[in-house]
Amino acid sequence: MLHLLQLGVVPFGTALMSSLSAQYLQYTAPDLAGLNPDVASLKTSVAAFRPYLEKTLRERHGIEVLAIYTYPAQVVFCKKPLHALGDLAGRRVRVSSVGQADFVGALGAVPVSTAFADMVVSLNNGNVECAITGSMSGNTVGLQAMTSHLYTMPVNWGLAIFGANRAAWEALPADLRTLLRQELPRLEASIWAESERETADGFACNSGASSCMLGRKGNMVLVPVSVQDEHRRLEIFTSAVLPRWLKRCGARCSEMWSQTIGRARNIALPTAP
């Protein structure tokens, strides 16, 4: 999609930032696995990264960033009891990105890259014992009937860029561009709010709570995040996820990290061993 936008084949389009990891790994920075344990953290990371993203996409790709959306929290469904992050050790876990693989691998789990469409089959045939996916999207495909425990820590979220080919954007009448600049932030804000609501509703429906609104009620055990696991999350991020991302991404990403998200979140570059 980024390439199609750049060419102008698609004048306006949405690109998942995780899908850019093969060629443009730097754009995945604000949603690295283990970085954002809540919406507030995600908003801080995105706000710090946004000026860099807008400038770079405009200058290098000829794309005007019009909005940044987020999907609901990506959390862990497991077929067997789970009480803490450490319990994932040795289990085969469905992941959808290299960053998720880095995170669960650091826990001693076995990451298994699986498309969303194949997730249910993989759980049914025993290829995986746990799966990382959205709390409500998991409910939609019936994971509440296939798994017993849902760990509520967001591993990551799922950011998407809504952008326009710059020539197509500038060809619009000035008053229309002004209108879009006024209204798209409102749409963005509503999508973020809905993402947070859907995350909570997924938890409610999967556990069978009376507050369940949109999904099918299950009887899953919701596993809260302990203080110890919050410390473990940060330790894994700083010692495994971030260093591996930086190694793949290169020196330019180290500088970008320090000037944007690292500064805003007070997460320094890892020191060389």
Tens of each residue's pLDDT in the chain, 273 residues = 989 999 999 999 999 998 887 788 999 999 999 999 999 999 999 999 999 999 999 999 999 999 999 999 999 999 999 999 999 999 999 999 999 999 999 999 999 999 999 999 999 999 999 999 999 999 999 999 999 999 999 999 999 999 999 999 999 999 999 999 999 999 999 999 999 999 999 999 999 999 999 999 999 999 999 999 999 999 999 999 999 999 999 888 999 999 999 999 999 998 754
CATH number of the CATH domain containing 17: 3.40.190.170
| pLDDT, averaged across the chain | 95
User: For residue 237, what is the DSSP state?
Assistant: I
The pTM of the full predicted model, rounded to 2 decimals, is 0.93
Judged on CB neighbours under 10 Å (0-12, 13-18, 19+), 260 is buried
Are residues 235 and 109 in contact, defined by beta-carbon separation less than 8 angstroms? no
- Domain span at residue 94 reads 1-273
Domain total of the chain: 1
